[in-house]
């Protein structure tokens, strides 16, 4: 069985030597204990049939930990405000280059380079598995997921230091690369062997997961890495002043809390 660490860590180890590489490797190794909780949550969910209530709680809550297009676009928007308000910028061309990198993270999400919004693909997946779209109700939003989203929104949209926003995006993109690769075989087996989906229907239903697999999220991570480097040049920042330990630790701890709480009371129901 594959594990999140088996997917995430090789990508980090293959990066050219840099302060950010060291920080990422050390932080993910130090806080990697949370991977086990996350993996166990997905395993519990996909081990059997679940009630509509359980599925609705899962898809509503999980969605709040995945939706990054708004925050990435928000970071780029904040950069344009630096120009609009005539804030001091050491290298304007580098700042524009950082914005270009951020926009490449959300191309697919916003259907700029593909034919369908990723939000629609998530809707299709969740509704196809739950059976209706009542999962959209915030009544199913678990407090742990609300906490995670509030933290991530603060990091990206309200934290005064834009470098923190970019480092949070960096953490999110490499983690998400690992998550989608880890869960695709679990979900495919769940749909076909437990929920009775035909192979073709399972493939169509899981389009939101599969479209993020392969190079997609990995490339998003590289775009995020380039964005922080361009931004540091634009603002004459010394990246070696920044530690990723707190960001990675908080991210993984809160993500694990979501997967544990939305799956911990999953009953062994026969529907």
Give 106-120 pLDDT, tens digit per residue.
988 788 877 788 899
Per-residue pLDDT at 64 exceeds 70 = yes
Percent of residues, the chain, with pLDDT higher than 90: 87
Q: Using alpha carbons only, what angle is made at residue 24 by residues 23 and 26, rounded to the nearest 5 degrees?
A: 65
In 10 A of CB 170, how many CB atoms?
Answer: 24
Per-residue pLDDT at 271 exceeds 60 = no
* Residue 269: per-residue pLDDT: 46
**Is residue 260 within a helix (H) or strand (E), and if so which, with residue range?**
helix 245-263
Taking only the tens place, the pLDDT of each residue in 179-210 is: 999 999 999 999 999 999 999 999 999 999 99
DSSP state of 113: S
């Amino acid at each position: 069985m594959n594990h999140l660490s088996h997917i995430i860590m090789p990508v980090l180890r293959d990066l050219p030597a840099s302060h950010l590489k060291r920080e990422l490797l050390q932080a993910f190794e130090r806080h990697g204990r949370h991977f086990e909780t996350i993996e166990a949550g997905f395993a519990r969910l996909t081990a059997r049939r679940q009630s509509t209530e359980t599925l609705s709680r899962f898809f509503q809550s999980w969605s709040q930990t995945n939706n990054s297009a708004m925050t990435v676009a928000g970071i780029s928007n904040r950069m344009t405000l630096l120009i609009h308000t005539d804030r001091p910028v050491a290298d304007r061309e580098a700042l524009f280059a950082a914005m270009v990198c951020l926009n490449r993270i959300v191309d697919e999400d916003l259907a700029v380079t593909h034919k369908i919004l990723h939000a629609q693909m998530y809707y299709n997946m969740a509704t196809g598995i739950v059976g209706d779209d009542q999962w959209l109700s915030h009544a199913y939003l678990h407090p742990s997921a609300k906490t995670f989203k509030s933290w991530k929104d603060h990091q990206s949209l309200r934290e005064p230091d834009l470098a923190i926003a970019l480092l949070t995006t960096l953490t999110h993109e490499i983690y998400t690369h690992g998550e989608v690769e880890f869960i695709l075989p679990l979900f495919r087996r769940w749909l076909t062997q437990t929920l009775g989906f035909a192979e073709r229907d399972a493939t169509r239903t899981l389009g939101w997961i599969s479209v993020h697999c392969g190079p997609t999220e990995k490339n998003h991570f590289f775009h995020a890495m380039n964005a922080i480097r361009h931004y540091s040049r634009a603002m004459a920042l010394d990246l070696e002043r920044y530690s990723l330990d707190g960001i990675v630790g908080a991210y993984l701890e809160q993500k694990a809390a979501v997967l544990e709480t939305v799956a911990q009371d999953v009953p062994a129901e026969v529907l």
